[in-house]
A = this chain, B = another copy of it.
Amino acid sequence: MNFASDNVSPFCPEVFEALAHDATNNAPAYGSDALSAQLDATFSELFDKEVAVIPVATGTAANCISLSALVSPYGGVVCHHEAHINEDESTGVAFFTGGAKLLPMDGPAAKLEAATLDRFVSGLVDRGVHSVSPECVAITQATELGTVYSIDEVNAIGAVCRDHDLRLFMDGARFANAVAHLNCHPADVTWKAGVDAISFGATKNGAMAVDAIVLFDTSLKARIEQARKRSGHLHSKHRYLATQLLAYVKDDVWLKNAAHANAATKALEDVLGKQGASLAHAAEGNELFVKMSPELATRLRDAGLMFHGWPSLGSDVYRFVCAWNTDIAQINALNTTLG
C-alpha cells in the first residue's frame, strides 16, 4: 500500500465522469465557457458569501499567485517554518511577489498560535525601510503535519491579524480534510474568521490537476487574473479546470473523499499503534506521523507499505498519508498480516 503521499492517488470517479462528459464539444477558450461561468456562483453558495474563483493547476501556483496580491514586493509573510510555502515551493513566493520575504516562526505541530503570533509580530523591530515589515500571515489548514486549526484558533489568528493590520491567507491544499475533521461550515474557518483568500485544494483529494484561488476579498480579482496570465497559469481550455472543480464540490464529493481519507488515517493509526508505534502528535486529517523503531519500519516495508521517514521531526519519525482511494479494509487486514 502506498502511503507516501496523497499525490500518488488518481482522480476520482466523479471528476473523471465530468471530464468524460465534457470531452466531445467545442467551447469558448480562456474561461469564457459555460462551465467556467458557474464557478463564482457555485463557490459563493459553498462559502455562503460572494467570492471570486480563479482556478489554476497546482497548489504552488494557487499559493504564490494569491500572495502576490496580498503582499508588496517589500513586505513580509509570516508563516510557520514547516509551511509548504517555506519548505516546499522553492523560491516561488519571492518570484511571484517580486521579492517579498518569508518570516518563519515556530508553533506546535506546524500550527501558529495566536498569542505566539502576536508576540512574534510585536517583537519584530521596525526599523523602517531597512527592515522587512510583515504584511500578511499565511496558515495551512490542515497543516503540513496533519493537524487542524479549530474554529476558535483561526478566529484568534484572524483577530491578531486585524490588530496588526495584516492580511490573512490560508493554504488549503488539504482544506477538505480539515473541514471534514471539524465537521463545520467552510465559512466558519475562513472568511468569518478573517481569511482574505484561500487556495482551495482539489488535486490531492480527487482531482487530476486543479486548485482554486477563492477570494473572499473580491477586490483582489483583477490583480490575481493579471498575475495568473503572466505566469502562464491561464489555461486556454479553461473549462477542464472548471469541470474538475464543479464535479469536486457537487454533492459534497470533496467532503466525502476527505472524510474517507481521514477515516483511513484513523484506521491506520490503530493498526500501527497495535504494532508499537506511537503518535508524534495528533493525526487530525489524512496525515499520520508516528514514532517507531527501525525494526518496525523495516517490517512494515517488508509487508509492502510505502511511506517516508520525517527527519525534521526526529530520526524515529515517519509519515503515512491516506487518500480518497485508500482501501480501509486492506488497512484493517494489516492487523492479520503483521501479526
Interface on A for B, CB 8 Å cutoff? 2, 4-5, 7-11, 16, 19-20, 22-30, 56-65, 72-75, 87-92, 94-96, 98-102, 125, 127, 129-132, 203-204, 208-209, 223, 225-237, 240-241, 311-312, 325
Contacts and interface: CB of A to CB of B under 8 A. Distances in A.
Nearest to A232: B61
Contacts of A4: 28-29
B58 A233 contact: yes
A29 B7 contact: yes
Contact of A74 (B8, B60, B230): B230
A6 to B, nearest CB: 9
Contact of A94 (B59, B99, B223): B99
Given A25-B10, A230-B99, A203 B129 contact: no
Contacts of A30: 7, 130
Contact of A95 (B56, B75, B98): B98
A26 B325 contact: yes
A228 B60 CA distance: 11
A8 B20 contact: no
A122 B295 CA distance: 26
Contacts of A230: 73-74, 89-92, 95, 99, 129
Given A58-B234, A95-B99, A233-B61, A8 B27 contact: yes
A26 B27 CA distance: 31
Contact of A20 (B20, B131, B227, B236): B20
Contacts of A208: 19, 237, 240
A204 B233 CA distance: 16
A239 to B, nearest CB: 9
A130 B19 CA distance: 26
Nearest to A208: B240
B95 A91 contact: no
B74 A236 contact: no
Contacts of A59: 232, 236
Contacts of A234: 58, 60, 129
A232 to B, nearest CB: 3
A312 B126 CA distance: 12
A307 to B, nearest CB: 13
B90 A129 contact: yes
A16 B23 contact: yes
Contacts of A127: 88
A33 to B, nearest CB: 9
A125 B325 CA distance: 30
22 contacts: A7-B29, A9-B26, A10-B237, A19-B19, A30-B130, A57-B209, A58-B236, A72-B223, A74-B227, A88-B130, A90-B129, A90-B131, A90-B229, A91-B230, A95-B98, A99-B99, A125-B311, A129-B234, A208-B237, A208-B240, A209-B235, A231-B232
A230 B90 CA distance: 5
